[in-house]
Amino acid sequence: MSETVIAPPVRQAPYNREAVARVIAERRHLDGPLMPVLHGVQDALGHVPSGAVGQIAQALNLSRAEVHGVITYYHHFRQEPARGPVLQVCRAESCRSVGGEALLAQARAHGSCTVEAVYCLGLCAQSPAVMLQGQPHACMTPAKLDELMAEAGDFR
């Protein structure tokens, strides 16, 4: 005789449903609303919580897989809250050719920020470039990065 085993329900971490609903209400009527909604949710909450995927999918008449696919495809979208200030370091060609990789390694070793690699910040003529908490910084040097990361503590 076989025994039926019922898996426990998957628990989602709590998140701010009202904030997500506000973003959806503001942006659902835009053309191609998924990206604007995801940007809005990340701006509001600092990340796109896994629990919000179903809420967004239902509101935009999409499948959860479609929403999840977009979130995981774009590096910009964070599925967990950042730990500390967010420093984005450009790894695209122009920055890479003038020391961007060394800056990325330096930033990761520093440990005061959540460090994310990104591919072009639109500051190629002033490479290498980074962005701290949404503020761009160009013509970076190791010394300037040290100063910037020391100041990053002010964002905590």
Q: Which is nearer to ligand FES, 82 or 120 (CB)?
A: 120
- Residue at 18: amino acid letter: E
- Nearest distance in Å: CB 57, ligand FES: 33
- Nearest distance in Å: CB 115, ligand FES: 15
- Nearest distance in Å: CB 46, ligand FES: 23
Of 115, 123, 149, 152, the one binding ligand FES (CB under 6 A) is 123
User: In 3D, which of 136, 81, 144 has the Cα closest to residue 107?
Assistant: 144
- The neighbour count for residue 27, using CB atoms within 10 Å, is 19
3-state helix, strand, coil in the chain (%, to 5): 45, 10, 40
* Interacting positions 81-100 with ligand FES (CB under 6 A): 90, 92-95
Contact segment (CB under 6 A) with ligand FES among 46-54, 104-112, 120-128, 148-156 equals: 120-128
- Nearest distance in Å: CB 140, ligand FES: 10
What number of chain residues touch ligand FES (CB under 6 A)? Answer: 12
Q: Which residues make beta-bridge pairs with 88?
A: 116, 131
Record the tokens describing residue 68, joined without a space: 């999840």
Q: Which is nearer to ligand FES, 49 or 100 (CB)?
A: 100
Phi, psi for 153 (deg, rounded to 5): -60, -25
| Residues 34, 67: Cα–Cα separation, whole Å | 8
The contact mask relative to ligand FES for 64-83 (x = CB under 6 A, - = no) is --------------------
- The neighbour count for residue 51, using CB atoms within 10 Å, is 15
Contact residues for ligand FES, defined by CB under 6 A: 90, 92-95, 120-124, 127, 129
